[in-house]
Structure 1
Amino acid sequence: MRRDVELQIITEALQKMGPHSPATRIWGRAPGATSEQGAAGNVWAGDVHDVAVHIATRLYGHPSATTAAASPRAQAEDAKRARDLVGEIGALMQGDEALTSAPWYPARRGDVVLVHYEQAGEFPAFGETYVVDDADGGLLGMRLLAHTLPDTMDPAEVEGMAGCFAVESADCPLYEVWFEAGPQRLTIVRDGRVVHAGGAR
């Protein structure tokens, strides 16, 4: 898992700090404290692993989170099956908040949306590339540009799988793919720069 690798790299970097390698604990001085003020209350110590988890969580999310985490819609469906109305509504509201509060929201013409799907049974892992474009009435659409499904697949199967998140016209063409596939499977590129890197983790 990518996050485990990132955590391992951070842990090894911390272990190699200082003259006593490999380190098992890290010591520090509180901000503003000087050596003359070095009272015990100004000094802290932390286990290398705990510090590495803290850094990895701040950068990438908690290492225990998986790339195959459930999408907002799947979380809501799970809560519905468990007869958890609060959980169902909460999952949908959190998904909406995560989308609409993103610094790059709303979608713009020219945005490129990459979707990654993990292997599922006999179906291989594959990806899709969409582009956001103008639609009638000042709305936006999203059309499929390419997919990486194998050429050996039955065309009927490919047609049923590829392009399912294409949108002809909508206020927010990203809404369905965000809720159904999940933000963790998406990479969104704007003006040649990645603005959302969920699919890269």
Structure 2
Amino acid sequence: MKIEMPEDPISPFGDGLAVATDDDPFDIQIHISDSTWLSLIPESEPLVVAMAKAAMLHSDVGVAGLLMRSTELSVELADDARVAALNMAFRGKAGSTNVLSFPAFEGDELEPTLQTLPAEMPVGLGDLILASGVVEREAQAQGKTLADHVSHLVVHGVLHCLGYDHMNEDEAEEMEALERRILGGFGISDPYQDHRDQKNSAAIKGRTP
């Protein structure tokens, strides 16, 4: 089913930058296969929808063409076991992870595809799946609210589906900067601050006096 935006068109969890409204072309399909999510974040569906749409709207690809057509994305809120099985099946890695992205397009294929497809043709971006246990444990360990951590993971996962990656330092800097900008608009603090502090501290310690 299609999940409608909450009445507040800014953010269901505080003030921030405007996101898409009910009449936008984005169709975000939410499937909750682990009911634990409903106790962890009772309004998990509108939160996920809001953050996914924000990522689409504020990415270069989104600005370039997603607003001109119907765009579809599937998100599953699952348990650790399901994500672990998919992680092994598709990535050959044991154990669960916080979020898996399954982009419908490889690398930078999406943008040229949007330029050639007829405007009336819907485009599917792919699928995201989040693991309840891993996400909850990470939020606690990092001293974040669960809603803020999920918001970051959804934005991160959607950007992967839009062709962003972090395989090298330049790609990582571009992707992280966009994540910070999107999340900051919702009043969510920089999720990479601790990592940057650690890098800066290591660099300072490594300098020759």
TM-score by length of 2: 0.22
User: Which is greater in Rg?
Assistant: 1
Which has a greater percent of helix?
A: 2
Q: Which has the higher contact order (CA 8 A, sep 6+)?
A: 2
Normalising by structure 1, we get a TM-score of 0.23
In proportion to residue count, which structure has more strand? Answer: 1
